[in-house]
């Protein structure tokens, strides 16, 4: 077997496949191999979006798109002018994969199956003659006489150009460090909050829009987010929580995932305004029990549990409620305090903050500034995004730009 290639790509994930396919499309003469350590390729694509694959997000202005990256915002702005959401949609459509936009902006294949994306990639690599080598666990790589040597457990591969698209892989980061690169230590970036609190114990499955603030050790707001919040068996999840976990990744890790949050279940209505509304309801509905009808468009079970937490019994009617109890309720509605004790991470949400230091990469080509003909794409870099298809868009953009760079004639 001839193990000499023009280009070797370490990592059989989204970024690796996208890089390989686009490179050969530009230069069909290239001999490319994708080295995947596992038995299967594209495993993260398969499980993402609950098995539907959240391909990208319907955000069509580069600057606005870049704002969804806690790490990488500045660096991705230029690349997004070369390849972003509209280009992704066109790329897949040209290969028979139609995407659809959901209400929240997330984009999925119309089939609602990640297998559609996987099949597209596998068909393309087969059509273009790209070698996909599974079970090729990379032990080390190094440069010798201007050529990259990549050693797996059983073979040595040689190539002029090397692309590392290995995702969040500590072993690969160590090999990259050995080449002189700085690697920012990884911490979890997308995770849910573990909360044990009587107010939400019986509310798994309840979802509503809310504003959530993360408080520092002194009780001051460190970070704020708003959006859909989902109460779960172990605490809280949903976009409002996941955005906080991404933007606050390093702060929350430093807090050992023990911190306080304050929730306004009414998003942007103040405690004073709520109290005023409650006083009006007392006048309008004097004989009605508070428990009977949820107010402020809140889910009924959430409304009832916040009433109980305010010291109001299930039998009390509006006319009997003291102003003190209404003040308690206004506070529960707009400033509920919860203690977070730990995090939960799911495979489909697993993203890390950390990776190859961005100042050591040329973002016009995604080539290493320290090692010629070494390129990076995807999560191997210290780039990560909030949930919603943005991490895949980083993989597509990086893979496309690397492909354009590596498919040119050797210099």
The β-bridge partners of 212 are 225, 263
* Count of helices and strands (H, E) across the chain: 13, 21
pLDDT digits (tens, 9 = 90+) for 230-258: 999 999 999 999 999 999 999 999 999 99
Rounded-to-integer distance, Cα 331 and Cα 196, Å: 20
Neighbour-count burial for 25-49, b at 16+ CB within 10 Å, e otherwise: eebeebebbbbbbeeebbbbbbbbb
Q: For residue 293, what is the DSSP state? A: S
pTM (global) more than 0.75: yes
Rounded-to-integer distance, Cα 224 and Cα 207, Å: 18
Q: What pLDDT score was predicted for residue 345?
A: 79
Q: Which residue from 151, 114, 123, 93 is spatially nearest to 17, judged by alpha carbons?
A: 123
Q: Which residue from 276, 211, 290 is spatially nearest to 243, judged by alpha carbons?
A: 211
pLDDT digits (tens, 9 = 90+) for 34-82: 999 999 999 999 999 889 999 999 999 999 999 999 999 999 999 999 9
Beta-carbon contacts of residue 345 (< 8 Å; ≥ 6 apart): 188, 190, 191, 192
Q: What pLDDT score was predicted for residue 323?
A: 95
User: Chain-wide mean pLDDT for the chain?
Assistant: 96
What are the angstrom distances between the C-alpha of 404 and each of 79, 169, 178, 235, 390? 12, 25, 27, 45, 21
Assess whether pLDDT exceeds 90 at residue 210.
Answer: yes
Q: For residue 313, what is the DSSP state? A: -
Rounded-to-integer distance, Cα 18 and Cα 341, Å: 39
pLDDT digits (tens, 9 = 90+) for 255-285: 999 999 999 999 999 999 999 999 999 999 9
Are the C-beta atoms of residues 367 and 361 closer than 8 Å to each other? yes
CA atoms 347, 55, 110, 120: torsion sign: negative
Are the C-beta atoms of residues 212 and 225 closer than 8 Å to each other? yes
Q: Which residue from 137, 116, 136 is spatially nearest to 52, judged by alpha carbons?
A: 116
Rounded-to-integer distance, Cα 185 and Cα 169, Å: 11
Rounded-to-integer distance, Cα 51 and Cα 43, Å: 10
Q: What pLDDT score was predicted for residue 351?
A: 81
Q: Model confidence at 225, in pLDDT bands (50, 70, 90)?
A: very high
Are the C-beta atoms of residues 56 and 342 closer than 8 Å to each other? no
Are the C-beta atoms of residues 85 and 59 closer than 8 Å to each other? yes
Q: Model confidence at 411, in pLDDT bands (50, 70, 90)?
A: very low
pLDDT digits (tens, 9 = 90+) for 98-111: 999 999 999 999 99
Burial of 324 (0-12, 13-18, 19+ CB in 10 A): exposed
Residue 76: helix, strand or coil by DSSP? helix
Are the C-beta atoms of residues 100 and 57 closer than 8 Å to each other? no
Are the C-beta atoms of residues 244 and 225 closer than 8 Å to each other? yes
């Amino acid at each position: 077997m001839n193990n000499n290639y023009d280009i070797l790509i370490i990592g059989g994930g989204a970024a690796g496949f996208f890089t390989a396919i686009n490179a050969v499309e530009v230069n069909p003469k290239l001999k490319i191999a994708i080295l995947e350590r596992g038995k299967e390729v594209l495993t993260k694509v398969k499980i993402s979006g609950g098995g539907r694959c959240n391909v990208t997000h319907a955000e069509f202005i580069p600057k606005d798109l870049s704002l969804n990256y806690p790490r990488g915002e500045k660096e991705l702005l230029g690349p997004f002018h070369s390849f972003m959401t509209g280009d992704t949609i066109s790329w897949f459509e040209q290969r028979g994969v139609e995407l659809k936009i959901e209400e929240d902006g997330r984009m999925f294949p119309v089939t609602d199956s990640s297998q559609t994306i996987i099949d597209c990639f596998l068909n393309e690599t087969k059509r273009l003659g790209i070698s996909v080598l599974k079970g090729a666990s990379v032990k080390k790589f190094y440069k010798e006489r201007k050529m990259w040597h990549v050693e797996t457990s059983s073979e040595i591969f040689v190539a002029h150009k090397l692309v590392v698209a290995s995702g969040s892989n500590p072993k690969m980061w160590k090999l990259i460090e050995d080449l002189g690169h700085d690697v920012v230590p990884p911490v979890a970036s997308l995770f849910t909050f573990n909360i044990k609190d009587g107010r939400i114990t019986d509310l798994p499955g309840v979802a509503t829009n809310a504003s959530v603030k993360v408080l520092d050790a002194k009780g001051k707001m460190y970070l704020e987010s708003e959006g859909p919040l989902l109460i779960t068996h172990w605490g809280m999840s949903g976009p409002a929580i996941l955005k906080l976990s991404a933007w606050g990744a390093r702060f929350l890790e430093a807090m050992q995932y023990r911190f306080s949050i304050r929730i306004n279940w009414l998003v942007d209505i103040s405690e004073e305004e709520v109290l005023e509304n409650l006083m009006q309801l007392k006048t309008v509905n004097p004989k009605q029990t508070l428990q009977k009808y949820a107010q402020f468009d809140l889910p009924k079970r959430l409304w009832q549990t916040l009433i109980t937490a305010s010291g109001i019994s299930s039998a009390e009617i509006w006319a009997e409620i003291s102003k003190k109890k209404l003040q308690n309720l206004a506070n529960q509605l707009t400033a509920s305090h919860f203690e977070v004790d730990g995090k939960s991470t799911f495979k489909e949400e697993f993203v890390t903050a950390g990776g190859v230091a961005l100042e050591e990469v040329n973002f016009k080509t995604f080539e290493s500034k320290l090692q010629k003909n070494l390129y990076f794409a995807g999560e191997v870099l210290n780039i990560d995004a909030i949930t919603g298809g943005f991490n895949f868009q980083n993989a597509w953009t990086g893979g496309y730009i690397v492909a354009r760079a590596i498919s040119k004639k050797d210099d």
